[in-house]
A = this chain, B = another copy of it.
Amino acid sequence: MELAEVPAAGDGETAIVTATPQFSRDSLALFCDEYEITMAQSFWLHRQNERACFELTVRHLPPHRGFLVVAGLEQALAFLAKLRFSADDLAYLASTERFDPGFIATLGWLRFTGDVRAIPEGTIVGAETPLLQIIAPRIEATLVESALLSIINHQTTIATKASRVADAARGRPVWDFSLRRVHGPHAALGVARAAYIGGAAGTATVAAGQRFGIPTTGTMAHHYILRFGQAGEQQAFEQFLRDYPGRSVLLIDTFDTLRGVDRAIAASRATGVTLAGVRIDSGPLLELSSAVRHRLDDAGMRDTEIVASGDLDEYRIDALVIAGAPIDSFGVGTMLGTSADAPALGGIYKLVAQEERGEMRPVMKHSIDKANDPGVHQVFRVAYHDVLALDGEALEGRPLLQPVMRDGRRLEPLPSLQASRDRCHTELTAVPAPMRRLSDPVPWQVMRSARLVALRSVLTGESIESVV
């Protein structure tokens, strides 16, 4: 494994992080749906490996979302760049007796050789917008569908959720505390990374700090206190303060929150160690945080911060902040790590054009409620809306799809995680308030160019062969 010395995101310090943009060293080639291999073999048998253009698009915004925050591109590109069917993979496919040995051999040397354009991570987008656009030989493009979707769908879901939570906290730091509730340990990497892009201050997940240089944090658990028995809460606090002078955040709700803060104050005085913070993980947070703040202030500990956690989400944080709860930062777990109110994103991967007689020609599907926009697209950002256009159109505005891979090779390194986070923050700040509402927001508008509308109407008229 390569080691790289990179600046740790967020605090300007330097940290060793391991360069593993993919989430594990295992081959991900078989993270595909079986039909991808079945179809690929059929194309192989009939030499139907023309170039085709697929776009990854989200058809509808999830509930309560006025926009999405794009994330996951780094892992998507790492997956494409490293696509390999290992010897184990090929042996497994052979064992199923469903595939031709010649085809399996072909998979053994298959690499991704296509061109990719993408919207940068941290960008705010609406529905029906191509986030990723792949032009590649059909077999390659077929085999990568589901892995790309699961990466982009997941991280975009979480980055979007995190942007809501951070927005609700209005500048107070929000930390990802979700590892224990996410969909398996590996999901925690995508969660921590995407949450950071969306506006989280960092994560408690150490592996995410290791791999991405994301700032990490941690306080203490109830069982640390219980180690000392019920009569030993202050003793536990004193030990922790001495062990971590200057950065101890003491958990004060194991028995009784108000007695807990008194003991934390007493422990700080007994040890002479400054109390950096206290955490409240249960109970009525508005009332408790107010009472705790009073006691801290009365003790002269005005700089001691209050961290709140426990089943928080953007709605509860919004209510706490509006009510004036004196909470300095939030730890958000379950609701952030699973995007509990909208846990899935309906991203799709659609064939929009294919090579015929040497040129790319638009393709359209007509299924009920599932028609797509035909043609290779570009998206233009104009103030607070986007225009979906056909590639090659010169419209006003900033083109969002940028080249990121050519002939299977990555181009410039993507912007840093910090830069993606900054982009999200900048764009979010400029979004009009009605689109940022937590409930029933106005959706980010996506228009279609006149040429695209015309093409769609021609193809809906079922004269696909006549379209130039």
Contact = CB atoms under 8 A, between A and B. Distances in A.
Given A41-B243, A219-B35, A346 B334 contact: yes
A384 interface: no
Contacts of A243: 41-42, 45
A3 to B, nearest CB: 8
Contacts of A105: none
A365 B30 contact: no
A357 interface: no
Interface string A79-105: 100000000110111011000000000
Nearest to A138: B227
Contact of A54 (B223, B254, B337): B223
Contacts of A224: 39, 42
B24 A186 contact: yes
A205 to B, nearest CB: 7
A445 B17 CA distance: 48
Interface string A199-229: 0000011110110000011111111101101
Interface string A240-259: 10011000000001111100
Interface centre among A39, A151, A347, A462 (most CB of B within 10 A): A39
Contact of A184 (B23, B253, B257): B23
A48 B354 CA distance: 66
A322 B188 CA distance: 39
B338 A183 contact: yes
Interface in A20-40: 20, 23-26, 28, 30-39
B349 A344 contact: no
Contact of A226 (B17, B191, B219, B351): B351
Given A24-B25, A187-B150, A210-B30, A365 B181 contact: no
A343 B338 contact: yes
A340 interface: yes
A187 B183 contact: yes
Given A18-B92, A30-B207, A223-B54, A338 B344 contact: yes
A145 interface: yes
A59 to B, nearest CB: 11
A53 to B, nearest CB: 11
Interface centre among A226, A256, A349, A350 (most CB of B within 10 A): A226
Contacts of A42: 224, 239-240, 243-244
A15 interface: yes
B186 A367 contact: no
B28 A26 contact: no
B282 A30 contact: no
Contacts of A370: 281-282
A33 B184 contact: no
Contacts of A205: 31-34, 146
Interface in A158-217: 177, 179-191, 204-207, 209-210, 216-217
Interface in A90-135: 91-93, 95-96
Contact of A349 (B54, B177, B180, B206): B180
A149 interface: yes
A216 B98 CA distance: 11
Contacts of A30: 206-207, 210
Interface of A: 1, 3, 15-18, 20, 23-26, 28, 30-39, 41-43, 45-46, 48, 52, 54, 79, 88-89, 91-93, 95-96, 138, 142, 145-147, 149-151, 153-155, 157, 177, 179-191, 204-207, 209-210, 216-224, 226-227, 229-231, 239-240, 243-244, 253-257, 281-283, 334-335, 337-340, 343-347, 349-351, 354, 363, 365-370, 462, 464-465
Given A16-B92, A31-B207, 7 more contacts: A15-B92, A39-B220, A89-B210, A142-B221, A150-B180, A183-B191, A187-B187
